[in-house]
Amino acid sequence: MRLLQDNGIYIFADLSQPRVSITVDTPTWDDTLYSRYISVVDAIQNYTNVIGFFAGNEVPNSPSNTGAAVFVRAAVRDVKAYIKQKGYRNIGVG
């Protein structure tokens, strides 16, 4: 991150990881996911080249799984609230 920042490269960071994410087949928003997402925020929010986070990459990804969108919206809502509660700078979440 420091090298990217030092070279003026800005990023949007994914809050999930392959086995800890909102899935389209069985979407959930629970404490495990919340803990993962805020741990990413806590770890990199201080780098000024982080301009945003995304919580639902490719969720939903077809007309048959649009129900997963409510879980992504809940994740975005809760991560935004967490950033505000912690007094972090204004960082986009989507």
Domain boundaries, the chain: 2-93
The band of 64, judged by pLDDT with boundaries at 50, 70 and 90, is confident
For the chain, the straight-line distance linking the first and the last C-alpha, in angstroms and rounded, comes to 21
**Is pLDDT at 57 greater than 80 in this prediction?**
no
- E strands along 15-70, which residues? 50-54
Mean pLDDT over residues 22-35, rounded? 93
What 3-state class would DSSP assign to 89? coil
What pLDDT does 12 receive? 96
Q: What is the mean pLDDT of residues 24-34?
A: 93
Q: Is the pTM of this model over 0.95?
A: no
Average pLDDT over residues 66-83: 95
Sequence-distant (6+) residues with CB within 8 A of 68 are 22, 23, 24, 27, 56, 59, 60
